[in-house]
A and B are shown apart, each in its own frame.
Chain A
Amino acid sequence: MITLLVVLSVIAIVALVAVLAAYLFWVGALLARIAGNLEEANDAVATIAGHGALIGPGVEHINRSGGSVAGALPLLYGLAEQILGKVSPVPERSKVATPASGQRRSRMHESVGYGPTFATQAFNEHQPRH
């Protein structure tokens, strides 16, 4: 009877120790994995912070330069309009020269099979030449 009690006591103690050891090992493995993942997340956050540090100064630079460009463009087209007011882009030209013999009738009609009647030819021949 006493031996049974002693054996059961030892079994209870060993079971307690074994359960504690097994679960703590399991929790330890899980926590180690979590630590690894958190380390990767920390690296990713540092990378993102490095990328984000470029945004502020860059956008300020772009806004400053863009504002200057936007302010300078009205001056540019104001100057261009003043220049255009001084210089006409379409100079006045003389009339287009015409030959003294007048304009000749086109011979393209015969080449495509068009034959005007004799009366039409006579009418055309009696037209005054310019």
Chain B
Amino acid sequence: MPNNVSASQIPFWWLAIGVGFAVVLVVALLLSFLIILVKIIDQGVVDVRNTLLRITTNTEHTNLIPKTADGVEAVLAEGLQHHLFLGRVFEKVKA
């Protein structure tokens, strides 16, 4: 134990201890605010994640678009065949 502390230093020690406990309280208060903010951010991130997962289920059928494009291409090819057929028929009818 330090025995060479003068009587005039004792009040400053008390003051330092009081400031120390005050600092502990302030740190706890600020960290509590930090925890609250992080929890709010966490809730927002969870909402964003859930929304994105729902969007994923909505957009998972876009792979049908190329198939639809192929179908329209087939319709076009069939229409061209009809055009050729009607052209041949028209030539025979005209003759």
* A contacts, CB < 8 Å to B: 1-3, 5-6, 8-9, 12-13, 15-16, 19-20, 23-24, 26-27, 30-31, 33-34, 37-38, 40-41, 44-45, 47-48, 51-52, 54-55, 57-59, 61-62, 65-66, 68-69, 72-73, 75-76, 79-80, 82-83, 86-87
Q: Map CB proximity to A onto B51-84 as digits: 1 under 8 Å, 0 otherwise.
A: 0110110011011011011001101100110110
Instruction: Report how far A86 CA is from B17 CA in the complex, Å.
Output: 113
Interface size on B, residues (CB 8 A): 53
Interchain residue pairs A-B with the least CB separation, the first 10 = A58-B65, A44-B52, A61-B69, A12-B20, A23-B31, A51-B59, A65-B72, A79-B86, A86-B93, A41-B49
Q: A residues within 8 A CB of B17? A: 5, 8-9, 12
Smallest Cβ distance from A31 to chain B, in angstroms?
7
Number of A-B contacts (CB under 8 A): 145
**Distance from B4 Cβ to chain A, minimum over Cβ atoms (Å):** 10
Contacts of B38 in A (CB 8 A): 27, 30-31, 34
B93 near A30: Cβ-Cβ < 8 Å: no
